[in-house]
């Protein structure tokens, strides 16, 4: 049982996952952000691997990715920053990014570095499920790593069940068919989508992402899933001022 599985076994609801872009706002902020999130009691951490063309991300995360790249962030440096991360936190850590940088880095080298840093899972929104099953799943199963798939309101029930059958960790339930940071509330159609997915009684827990920005939207998302992911709003909050204080104040505003 990896950390992700243990988290969902021990905690059934109100899972708070925070996304940030590695190398933003400053190149060497990665470990400080993780340390502070740990101190604040966050349940799950998603580290964005900067990419020049992040198709699923809105302008805020796109900008953070561009800044991080300009700062000099790359996968070699990120893995170096994460070498001793387990001396800082035991929170589940997932890398999130896109296939192209992973392919350029080398699949085998990439997985080797994930294991050496004792990370727990991977999110690649543009990796087709069939490619995951053929290229990644055997080693992920062997090494007890979680591949986190995405579903959207356009994903059929049959496809969701296929994704569920081939996943081990949680399912990232995208709240709308749009980019990150687009909306900050849920309409009736989205609520029905959440209810429909919940009604499938999937074997994997679900976490809702896209459009979670404050205590109310977090609370609403948790009605229909095991928790929620906040990315765009978090990145906005750490863009200015004292990093640690900004993180503490923001997490407190969600948890209060």
Instruction: Kindly report the pTM of this predicted structure.
Output: 0.94
CATH of the domain at 218: 3.20.20.70
Banded pLDDT at 145 (limits 50, 70, 90): very high
Question: What is the span of the domain harbouring residue 81?
Answer: 3-255
- Examine the pLDDT at 184 and tell me if it is beyond 60: no
In tens, the pLDDT along 81-137 reads: 999 999 999 999 999 999 999 999 999 999 999 999 999 999 999 999 999 999 899
Of the listed 43, 46, 120, 237, which one is catalytic?
Answer: 46
Q: Note the pLDDT of residue 44.
A: 98
* DSSP conformation letters of the chain: --HHHHHHHH--S-EEEEEEETT-SSTT-HHHHHHHHHHTT-SEEEEE---S--TT--HHHHHHHHHHHHHT--HHHHHHHTTTGGGT--S-EEEE--HHHHHHH-HHHHHHHHHHTT--EEE-TTS-HHHIIIIIHHHHHHHTPEE--EE-TTS-HHHHHHHHHT--S-EEEESSSS-TTS-SS--HHHHHHHHHHHTT--SS-EEEESS--SHHHHHHHHHHSSEEEE-HHHHHHTTSS-HHHHHHHHHHHHH-
Any idea which of 36-40, 52-56, 173-177, 252-256 has the lowest mean pLDDT? 52-56
- Examine the pLDDT at 223 and tell me if it is beyond 70: yes
In tens, the pLDDT along 18-65 reads: 999 999 999 999 999 999 999 999 999 999 999 887 666 778 999 999
- Examine the pLDDT at 78 and tell me if it is beyond 60: yes
Any idea which of 45-59, 153-167, 185-199 has the lowest mean pLDDT? 45-59
- Examine the pLDDT at 219 and tell me if it is beyond 60: yes
Q: What percent of the chain has pLDDT over 70?
A: 95
The average confidence (pLDDT) of the chain is 93
Of the listed 43, 57, 120, 237, which one is catalytic?
Answer: 57
- Examine the pLDDT at 72 and tell me if it is beyond 70: yes
Question: Does 130 participate in catalysis according to the annotation?
Answer: no
Q: Note the pLDDT of residue 241.
A: 83
* Count of domains forming the chain: 1
Question: Does 57 participate in catalysis according to the annotation?
Answer: yes
Q: Note the pLDDT of residue 181.
A: 45
Interval 192-205 mean pLDDT? 95
Q: Note the pLDDT of residue 1.
A: 74
Higher pLDDT, 192 or 185: 192
């Amino acid at each position: 049982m990896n950390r992700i599985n243990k988290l969902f076994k021990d905690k059934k609801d109100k899972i708070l996952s925070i996304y940030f872009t590695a190398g933003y706002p400053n190149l060497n902020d990665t470990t400080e952000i993780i340390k502070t999130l740990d101190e604040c009691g966050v349940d799950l951490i998603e580290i964005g691997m900067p990419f020049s063309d992040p198709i699923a991300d809105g302008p805020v995360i796109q900008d953070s990715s561009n800044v991080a790249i300009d700062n000099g962030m790359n996968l070699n440096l990120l893995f170096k920053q994460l070498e001793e991360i387990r001396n800082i936190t035991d929170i589940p850590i997932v890398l999130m990014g896109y296939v192209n940088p992973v392919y350029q880095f080398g699949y085998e080298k990439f997985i080797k570095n994930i294991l050496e840093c004792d990370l727990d899972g991977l999110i690649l929104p543009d990796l087709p499920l069939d490619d995951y099953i053929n290229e990644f799943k055997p080693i992920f199963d062997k090494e007890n790593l979680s591949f986190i798939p995405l579903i959207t309101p356009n994903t059929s029930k049959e496809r969701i069940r296929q994704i569920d059958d081939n996943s081990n960790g949680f399912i990232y339930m995208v709240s709308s068919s749009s980019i990150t940071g687009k909306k900050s509330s849920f309409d009736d159609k989205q609520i029905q989508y959440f209810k429909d997915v919940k009604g499938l009684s999937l074997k994997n827990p679900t976490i809702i992402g896209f459009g979670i920005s404050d205590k109310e939207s977090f609370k609403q998302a948790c009605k229909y899933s095991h928790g929620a992911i906040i990315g765009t709003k978090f990145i906005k909050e750490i863009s200015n001022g004292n990093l640690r204080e900004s993180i503490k104040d923001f997490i407190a505003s969600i948890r209060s």
